[in-house]
């Protein structure tokens, strides 16, 4: 296990009692201090994977090491290094924020430490609410309580299962701030999400899971650079009926009823800037007498990359 890795998943498979295989030979290493986003369509196996890592579901094959501790043979040690933020609060509606969070710490056999609970509540802007009963809190505050509970026993790694499922845009951005703040304080974060935007915004690395297989693990920037395509759009002065034959050698298409030309190029070429290709294209346009009034480029979003990836793998 390399020094900067905090979780190591080796050859993990899971077949449920129903006979359904939810994970197939998953290998993964999570680095200390990173935000890792696990992306995948519904039913891909995201929750199963984090449940196995957290020791809530038994693996059928393979093993998980948490800071070197096997999560089956050395369960207690492995489990206390992990905090898990589930999707919803289950019970405790009538407990106060303070009691709920303090109780979670006790569950891990950690000695009382009011100063730590205070720090956690303050870092999540819950301090003013500490005497409130959970039932009186807004949805956003309840999500913060879930995080506070998971941090009460001072874990090194925090798993967030769909942290922003079903919340409004404002609250989502708010949660992202909270998660970034945690990372700054040295907590390693693993989150599962349906929202590509969330991974694009937050993650250092991204894992894509599809039908129980981890089909890709890559740094976010790398992923976008390698798989991203760029598009150059030229707004034409005069519309065209069809592409002039002199331009056939370029990856061009007509758009906006002939008012725009779109040139697509590969993010990989020339470090992402296809200078030579663009220069040639502009020269050929000039030769064909095509004038344009505006041009702009855009890079494919992680969402486009993801959709393509899941489709290509299918
Ligand atoms: N206890 C179980 N018994 C049998 N099958 C299960 C069980 N739990 C999950 N599954 C199946 O395993 C597959 C993966 O489920 P999982 O919840 O891990 O997916 P997910 O990627 O988290 O999906 P979602 O994004 O919808 O939460 C699904 O097909 C699900 O129906």
Ligand 1, pocket-test mutation among 14, 19, 20, most atoms within 8 A of CB: 20
**Which token pair is 76?**
């207690």
Residue 227: pLDDT over 80: no
What is the mean pLDDT of the segment spanning 298-303?
68
Which strand (E) or helix (H) includes residue 25? strand 21-31
Q: Which residues contact 141 (CB under 8 A, 6 or more apart)?
A: 126, 129
43 lines ligand 1 (CB under 6 A): yes
Q: Kindly report the CA angle at 181 between 180 and 185, in degrees rounded to 5? A: 115
Return the SS3 of 210. Answer: strand
Question: What number does the ligand 1 atom closest to the CA of 40 have?
Answer: 21
Q: Are 228 and 300 in contact (CB under 8 A)?
A: yes
Cβ neighbour number for residue 289 with a 10 Å cutoff: 9
Residue 230 is predicted with a pLDDT of 76
Confidence band, pLDDT 50/70/90 cuts, at residue 268: low
What 8-state DSSP symbol labels residue 273?
Answer: -
Burial of residue 247 (CB within 10 Å: 0-12, 13-18, 19+) is middle
Confidence band, pLDDT 50/70/90 cuts, at residue 17: very high
Residue 270 is predicted with a pLDDT of 45
Residues 68, 72, 76, 78, CA torsion sign: positive
What 8-state DSSP symbol labels residue 142?
Answer: H
Q: Please, what are the domains in the chain?
A: 5-224 (3.40.50.300), 228-313 (3.30.70)
Which strand (E) or helix (H) includes residue 11? strand 5-15
Question: What number does the ligand 1 atom closest to the CA of 194 have?
Answer: 25
Complex prediction ipTM: 0.96
CA dihedral defined by 134, 137, 140, 146, rounded to 10 degrees?
Answer: -10
Residue 4 is predicted with a pLDDT of 85
How far is the centre of ligand 1, averaged over its atoms, from the C-alpha of 26 (Å)? 15
Residue 104: pLDDT over 50: yes
Q: Which residues contact 119 (CB under 8 A, 6 or more apart)?
A: none
- CA–chain centroid gap for 9, Å, is 18
If we measure between CA atoms, which residue out of 116, 312, 302, 151 comes closest to residue 225? 302
**Which token pair is 215?**
């089909």
């Amino acid at each position: 296990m390399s020094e900067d890795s905090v979780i190591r998943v080796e050859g993990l498979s899971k077949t449920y009692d129903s006979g359904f295989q939810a994970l197939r030979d998953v290998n993964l290493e999570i680095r200390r201090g990173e935000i890792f986003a696990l992306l995948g369509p519904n039913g891909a196996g995201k929750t199963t994977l984090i449940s196995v890592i957290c020791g809530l579901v038994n693996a059928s094959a393979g093993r998980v090491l948490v800071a070197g501790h096997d999560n089956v043979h050395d369960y207690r040690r492995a489990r206390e290094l992990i905090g898990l933020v589930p999707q919803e609060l289950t019970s405790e509606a009538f407990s106060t924020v303070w009691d709920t969070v303090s109780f979670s710490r006790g569950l891990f056999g950690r000695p009382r430490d009011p100063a730590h609970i205070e720090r956690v509540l303050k870092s999540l802007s819950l301090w003013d609410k500490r005497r409130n009963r959970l039932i009186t809190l807004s949805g956003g505050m309840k999500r913060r309580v879930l995080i506070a509970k998971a941090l009460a026993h001072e874990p090194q790694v925090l798993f967030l299962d769909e942290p922003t499922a079903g919340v409004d845009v404002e609250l989502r951005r708010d949660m992202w701030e909270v998660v970034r703040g945690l990372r700054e304080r040295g907590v390693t974060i693993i989150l599962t999400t349906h929202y590509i935007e969330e991974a694009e915004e937050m993650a250092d690395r991204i894992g894509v899971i599809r039908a129980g297989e981890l089909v890709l693990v890559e740094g976010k920037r790398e992923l976008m650079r390698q798989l991203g395509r760029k598009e150059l759009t030229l707004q034409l002065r005069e519309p065209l009926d069809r592409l002039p034959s002199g331009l056939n050698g370029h990856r061009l298409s007509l758009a906006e009823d002939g008012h725009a030309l779109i040139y697509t190029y590969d993010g990989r070429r020339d470090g992402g800037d296809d200078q030579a290709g663009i220069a040639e294209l502009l020269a050929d346009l000039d030769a064909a007498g095509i004038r344009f009034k505006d041009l702009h480029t855009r890079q494919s979003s992680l969402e486009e990359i993801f959709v393509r990836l899941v489709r290509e793998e299918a």
